[in-house]
Structure 1
Amino acid sequence: MKLTKDEQAILGGSKGPEMAKLMKIQVVFGNTFGAEKLVDLGGAPHSNLYPGAPYLSSMIKMLDECATAGLKSYAPYTVNPRPYDCFNVQNNEKEMQIVYEGYPLQKELDWVHARLGAPDLNKRSCACYVKEVGNAPKPGTMVAWAESSAVNYGNSVLGIRTNRNGAGIDLISAITAKAPYFGLMTDEGRQAKWLVEVKTSKAPDWGVLGTAIGRKVVEDVPLVAGIDKYFEGSEVTEDNMHLLKAMGSATAASGAVGLYHVENLTPDAKEKGRKLLEEGYQTYVYDDAEEQKTIKTFDNLWPRKDGDPTAAFIGCPHNTLYEMKKWGKLVTEGLEKDGKEKTAIPVYMFCANVVKLQLIADDGELAGKMLKAGMIATPMCGVTWAGTKGFSDRVQGITNSAKTRNYSSIRYFPDQTLVDIIVSGKVPS
């Protein structure tokens, strides 16, 4: 990999021993993946280094040394949600013991982030691109993000350029303001190897569609055709972005998709159309039969297969403001229709705190109804909660997130079915 004179100087220690070590890591990392050079970064970074778990102790120590030396990110950066919430969710002795034993380094990690340039905890979110959090760089901006669903959405819908970075590389890049140039950052790396033709008779189940695409293309880049008609004016807006969030996160969870294009809709596809398709591309047709075939693979992983659900998980990736309002209305109106005041099971609504506060500001009456009904807003990571010790023995969860389903024992149901279960407490036969 060729370095500029300034980069060579940093490697030689011109900006201190800590920066020299970070630059050395980036050079080795870049050479491993065949990068030809380093590129300067813009926008703002996003980090998925969020759990203060013992296995991350060496990385936290390394970053603490950087912070102690006065190093900072080139711009204020966003971070994934914290792995627990002892205010709204795990506020009982048993759960608190599990999370405090599981994440004993959380204080140290949060302190590192504060010194390196992360905003306050109210903006912690895996959906860093929502308006209230505000990390949405312009198309073409080179960044170094980590977090599979954020990378997926950023590359695809925002049109930024980042690879699927692991925890640690994101912050090393944030401090050096540089990243190795390869993969999804390059024009050739963003070409599509698959054409996915969606031919369902109505709007697809977005999470199921994403799951099917991820399983089919694995880590390759797909161009998805036939879904732009579900986006008014062929534009992604605050009212419909959650559809691509659901689809894209499922492609990243069931496969390893870091970028997809949607014909006539996403930035690269609007600019280049089907010129994005590589020579010799493969075609995958997704129709009603394929949707049902995929749904049938969603196994029931509950220990008690025929038991009743005990909690609903909505918001993975984190809910947008539109989704918070949508689900608030769906559930409270469902309860009113059934003559009930409270949900049969707790409903956990995962979102950044700034999104929850905006809901209260916009529609305090709805926010109050949701709280009284048993809908609990929490800024934590639901999937991480589902991965805690003995979770499936304590909780039989239901969700509308295909990403959550991919990573846990929580069962997946379409939106309206999920509402019915939340109101009744029973899974339909």
Structure 2
Amino acid sequence: CRPVWTCAPYQLPGGPGLGDHIVGSESNAVTYYNSAVGARTNKYGDFLDVCCALLGRVPNAGLHLDDNRRGQILFRLADDVPEVLRAQEMLAHVLGHYVGKAARSAIPVIDGLPASTTLDSQKAISAATAASGGVALFHAVGVTPEAPDLETALGGQDPVRVEVVDMETLRKARDDLSTAAPGPLDMVALGTPHFSFTEFARLADFMKGQNVASGLTMYVSTSRHIRELAAQKGWVEDLERAGVQIIVDTCTYFTPAVRGATGRVMTNSAKWAYYAPGMLPVEVCFGSLEDCVRSAVAGEVRRDESLWRGRAA
């Protein structure tokens, strides 16, 4: 048994592969393993997961079975969604938030994401769909391993319904993730689920030559494993010198480390934006990672709206 204390154990070495039967309980991890990895797990509650570990067996039911992994609801990105937006991690958070609410506990199939969709974006969709809904598995056509094409993702059957997701729908979903109007910031919260190595690389690049504004707190949550990898690159030292606080093994929407958090908080995480207002005395502004950096440096919310204008007719 190796304790790791992370909500993103899939970022650690030696994980499961396609078709492996595993036991997962953390919501985003269950969805990520099922979807991005193609491993098989249901959402197991506390103690049942321990029982499975002791026995070395899982129930022959639910998402462990082929027939129960077929996509059910098709979400197709509309033509007015620009290609440049489809490639953004921020789109993954927003789309995941919408799909989770609409699909609830059904299995969604997302059509229209680029084949180059990153694992960080798949992490974002996993977390957002599991937070706003009860999604434990999604398929992204041409992206996730069990969805090389639409027919395979749907298991050769017709979807129970089809939803076309256009720019108006996405803008509404994005706005739904903010409870506060733009203005002076008190805190920036990144790393829900835990920050990855590639996210640290991007953050370190964005923060070069800049510092967090005086009086503002900027948190990054991650695992101790990823923190060590980032430290080896010199990113942890650079970020901490710039005023970024890196915490490990927990999350900033309930950790004692941020019990004093109040006021207006900015995040790039749909999951954090969804949960935090009910767990902390805060109002939330949602934006991209680059938006969060720009805002942390300025001390006030600054967002690039250009990507959300859609494709010209």
Question: TM-score, normalised to structure 2's length?
Answer: 0.84
**Structure 1, residues 323-366: CA drift from partner, whole Å, max 9, x if none?**
01111211235x2xxxxx444422211111111111122x22x3
From 403, 408, 418, the counterpart of 2:276: 408
* 1:216 is the counterpart of 2:102: yes
1:384, distance to aligned residue in structure 2 (A) = 4.6
Secondary structure at 2:300 match in 1: coil
Determine the structure 1 residue equivalent to 2:189. Answer: 313
Unaligned runs of 5+ in 2: 278-283, 304-313
| Alpha-carbon separation, structure 2, partners of 1:371 and 1:198 | 39
1:324 match:
200
| C-alpha separation in 2, matches of 1:392 and 1:213 | 33
Provide structure 1 residue ranges, at least 5 long, that are not aligned to the other structure: 1-116, 232-239, 336-340
Structure 2 residue 225 is matched with structure 1 residue 351? no
Inter-partner Cα distance in structure 2 for 1:287 and 1:392: 39
CA gap of 1:201–1:177, structure 2 versus 1, over 3 A, is same
Could you tell me how far 1:291 is from its partner in structure 2? 0.7
In the TM superposition, residue 169 of structure 1 has moved relative to its aligned partner by 1.5
Structure 1 equivalent of residue 6 of structure 2? 125
Contact kept, 8 Å, 1:125 with 1:351, in 2: the verdict is yes
Corresponding residue pairs, total: 288
Q: Post-superposition shift, 1:277?
A: 5.5
SS at match of 2:17: coil
The residue that corresponds to 2:171 in the other structure is 292
Deviation at residue 135 of structure 1 after TM alignment:
4.8
Contact 2:191 2:222 in 1 (8 A): yes
User: For residue 249 of structure 1, what is the aligned residue in structure 2?
Assistant: 127
Call closer, same or farther: CA 1:280–1:419 in 2, change over 3 Å: closer
Matched position secondary structure for 2:19: coil
Percent identity between the two aligned chains: 24
SS of aligned partner of 1:129 = helix
CA contact (8 A) 2:30 2:136 kept: yes
Tell me if structure 1 keeps the 8 A contact 2:203–2:289: no
SS state at 2:198 partner: helix
Which position in structure 2 is the counterpart of 1:374? 243
* CA contact 2:16–2:39 (8 Å) conserved in 1: yes
Corresponding residue number in structure 1 for 2:82 = 201
Partner of 1:9: none
Q: Which amino acid aligns with 2:196?
A: T
Ranked by relative contact order (alpha carbons within 8 Å, sequence separation 6 or more), the top structure is 2
1:177-209 deviation per Cα after TM superposition (whole angstroms, max 9, x unaligned): 112121111111101111111231132411100
One-letter code aligned to 2:208: T
Q: Superposition pairs for residues 359-398 of structure 1, below 5 Å? A: 359-361=230-232, 363-364=233-234, 366-385=235-254, 391=259, 394=262, 396-398=264-266
Q: 2:144 aligns with which of 266, 271, 287?
A: 266
Cα distance in 1 for partners of 2:238, 2:257 equals 33
Q: Deviations over 1:286-321 (max 9, x none)?
A: 1212111212323426xxx77632221111111110
Question: Which aligned segments of 4 or more residues in structure 1 are displaced greater than 4 angstroms?
Answer: 388-393
What do residues 130-166 of structure 1 show as CA deviations (whole Å, max 9, x unaligned)?
1xx2252011111111100000000001101100112
Q: Work out which of the two has the higher radius of gyration on C-alpha atoms and give 1 or 2.
A: 1
The residue identity in structure 2 corresponding to 1:257 is: V
Cα distance in structure 2, aligned partners of 1:383 and 1:393: 9
The structure with the largest helix share of the pair is: 1
Distance 2:252 2:218 in 1: 15
Structure 1 residue 274: Cα displacement: 4.4
User: Could you tell me how far apart the structure 1 residues matched to 2:243 and 2:257 are?
Assistant: 25
Q: Which of 35, 38, 43 is 1:156 aligned to? A: 35
CA contact (8 A) 1:136 1:154 kept: no
